[in-house]
Amino acid sequence: MTENTNFKVQHKRRRNQQTDYKQRLELLKSGKPRAVVRTSNKHTKMHLSFYQEEGDENAYFTSTEELEGYGWNHHTGNLPAAYLAGFLMGSRAEEDEAILDIGLQEYKQGSRVFAAVKGMNDAGLEVPAGEEAFPEEERIEGHHIV
C-alpha cells in the first residue's frame, strides 16, 4: 500500500462521463437559461433549463416524438425533425434568449443539434451560434432524404 498518493478522485458524474463541471460553471455564470439539446439515433430532445440551488428547473421540454401529434409521418431522428422540434421549442418559450448546452457531445457543423438551434432562432428564441454551424437550407427542408 502506498502511504502518500498524488491521485485525486474525480466527481462521480465526471467519472461516468455525464457532466463537464468546468463547462457547466461557465454556462451558469452567463445568467441566461440553458437550451439543452440531446440526440439519440431515434429522437432529438431539448429543454430550457434554469439554475436553482436545489437543482436545475426544466421549464420547457420538446422532443421529436411530439411531431407525430402534428402529422409528422417520417423518421424522427433526422435534420428536418430536429429543426421542427427546435421551432416548436422556440415558439413555446417565453424567454428571449438562451445559451446552448450540448453537454459532452462534440460540436459538429451541420448536425441535428444546430438544426434544432436554427429552429429555436427562427421561432424567436435567440441562441447564439455562428451561421457556418447551421445546416444548409436544402438539408433542413429534407431534399437530401427524398
The predicted pLDDT at position 2 comes to 55
pTM metric for this prediction = 0.86
Q: Per-residue confidence of the chain (146 residues) as pLDDT tens digits?
A: 456 678 888 888 777 767 777 888 888 888 899 999 999 999 999 999 999 989 889 999 999 999 999 999 999 999 999 999 999 999 999 999 999 998 888 889 999 999 999 999 999 999 999 999 999 999 999 888 87
Digit-coded pLDDT (tens) for 116-140: 999 999 999 999 999 999 999 999 9
Phi, psi dihedral angles at 52 (to 5 degrees): -135, 150
Domains observed in the chain: 13-141 (3.30.420.100)
User: C-alpha grid cell for residue 139?
Assistant: 438539408
At a CB cut-off of 8 Å and minimum separation 6, what does 82 contact?
39, 44, 64, 112, 113, 115, 116, 119
- Conformational region of residue 62, where left means phi above 0, alpha means psi within -120 to 50, and beta covers everything else: beta
- The helix, strand and coil proportions of the chain, stated in percent and rounded to the nearest 5, come to 35, 15, 45
Write the single-letter amino acid at 89: M
Residue 44 contacts residue 81 (beta carbons within 8 Å): yes
